[in-house]
Structure 1
Amino acid sequence: MTDPTGPPAADYPAPPWKARGVLWMSVLTAREAPELPADLSPVGGRRTLLVVLARYTEGALRYDEFAVGSPARRGRRVGLFCHRIWVDSAASVRGGRRLWGIPKELARFSWDAETVRIHDDNGPVAALRLGPHGRARVPVLRAPSSGFGRIGGERTFLCGQVSGRLGRGRLGVLDWHPPLPDLAAPAPRFTLSVSAARFVFPAGTRLGPAGSPASGRTGA
């Protein structure tokens, strides 16, 4: 795979990144509470994990993305703090890190019918089985798709948006490897999906100093 940190020239689009594709979001429970930086507080329970799988098939960049994070807040801002996030585009890795401070890593996504397997240079990361989108779907406009990052010593915030047709989805965990957080159970609490999705990811906002991970705590 290509070195995601080079070349130094910016070969990624300037924000906003606009794309179309499909999105799955599942809520799972970690066996133990993942650690959050001290300037962020957990939302929805300290052991709550959000698993996000996206396929950006049209737009500024075309790539697959798999993220595992904790819903978190800083003041009035709420978003996903990614413990790990992988994509199959080196340009997305560089853009994600340099524009928003999101620590994207490079991986391979192998699709077979309704199964996707993610591998990085260290070996298998996860395997997921996706069910068909539910028939009952509700149009949504400008739903938040937000996340926290870090550039240098500053906390960053990406206030993205997604629109499309929202409904129940299915996502099953077939395989799950370290360094992902251990799961209390492989079955998600629930899964939502957005079909015919449109994404907008604007320039990020700098929020001030970022806290370092605090030993023995998961939020401020």
Structure 2
Amino acid sequence: MTDRTGPPADPGFPAPPWRARGTLWLSLFTTREPLPLPADLSPLGSRHLLAVLLVRYTEGTLRYDEFAVASPVRRGRRVGLHCHGIRVDSAASLRGGRALWGIPKEPARFSWSEDSVRVSDDAGTLAALRLGPLGRWRVPVPYAPGHVFGRIGADRIHLAGRLSGRLGTGRLGVQEWSGRLPELRRADPLCALALSPARFFFPAGTRQGPAAPALHP
């Protein structure tokens, strides 16, 4: 049996569900070393597979930018992403991500130009990413899962988010990449997609039982 997580009193962030519109870029890379995962999560495919996501939430419950690096994983029949790092420029999103879903968000600054974005914090640049034009041909996607596994205390939390919009090819390449992030095998992605315009729906999380500590491969 699962039970729904609830926000604390006076949390400083909106109650779920969160709804938003914006643009999502997603690229898949491979890493030089296998990525560590908690023992209760299994990789989908190779442990070297890394998803890099960049999102601009421009309308809805909150408006903010987000950068994440994550492993595609499963837990039993459920699939989703396990974040190795996730950065946002909204204090409310940071607090809500941690308290509602156990997603370890950290603060960052996003500096946008016409075809690139630089993500940085007080320690310096995390990543500089080049963005290409969206593909001319895009297909409507009425529903796509946007699931993430987090952790609150000793419990594994599952966020069963939903996405919809118009999906096509995109470009999210690497110009600079910090040593604080998983080391990439090469700067060119295996594939790059974009969802724009995109709609996002993030409900309350569900507890999935005890989590396990990270295991190094």
- Length-normalised TM-score, structure 1: 0.93
Give the secondary structure class of the aligned counterpart of 1:94.
helix
* Other-structure match for 2:203: 202
Question: 2 CA distance for matches of 1:136 and 1:58?
Answer: 24
* Other-structure match for 2:4: none
Aligned AA for 1:150? R
Question: 1 CA distance for matches of 2:144 and 2:41?
Answer: 22
Answering whether residue 144 of structure 2 is matched by residue 143 of structure 1, we say yes
Give CA-to-partner distance per residue, 1:49-77, whole Å, 9 cap, x none: 00010000000000000000100010001
Aligned AA for 1:141? P
- CA-CA distance at 1:199 after TM superposition: 0.3
Give the secondary structure class of the aligned counterpart of 2:195.
strand
Matches within 5 A, 1:7-46: 9-46=10-47
- CA-CA distance at 1:214 after TM superposition: 2.2
For this pair of structures, how many residues does the alignment match? 209
- CA-CA distance at 1:44 after TM superposition: 2.1
Matched residues, percent identical? 63
Give the secondary structure class of the aligned counterpart of 2:87.
strand
* Other-structure match for 2:5: none
Aligned AA for 1:46? R
* Other-structure match for 1:117: 118
Dislocated runs of 4+, deviation >2 Å: none
Question: 2 CA distance for matches of 1:188 and 1:68?
Answer: 13
- Length-normalised TM-score, structure 2: 0.95
* Other-structure match for 2:162: 161
* Other-structure match for 2:91: 90
* Other-structure match for 1:4: none
Question: 2 CA distance for matches of 1:117 and 1:83?
Answer: 19
* Other-structure match for 1:173: 174
Answering whether residue 179 of structure 2 is matched by residue 186 of structure 1, we say no
Give the secondary structure class of the aligned counterpart of 1:141.
strand
Give the secondary structure class of the aligned counterpart of 1:44.
coil
- CA-CA distance at 1:10 after TM superposition: 1.3
Aligned AA for 2:43? P
Question: 2 CA distance for matches of 1:118 and 1:175?
Answer: 10
Question: 2 CA distance for matches of 1:26 and 1:209?
Answer: 31
Question: 1 CA distance for matches of 2:109 and 2:66?
Answer: 10
- CA-CA distance at 1:123 after TM superposition: 1.1
Give the secondary structure class of the aligned counterpart of 1:183.
coil
- Aligned CA RMSD, in angstroms, stands at 0.9
Question: 1 CA distance for matches of 2:11 and 2:123?
Answer: 26
Matches within 5 A, 1:45-56: 45-56=46-57
Question: 1 CA distance for matches of 2:215 and 2:173?
Answer: 32
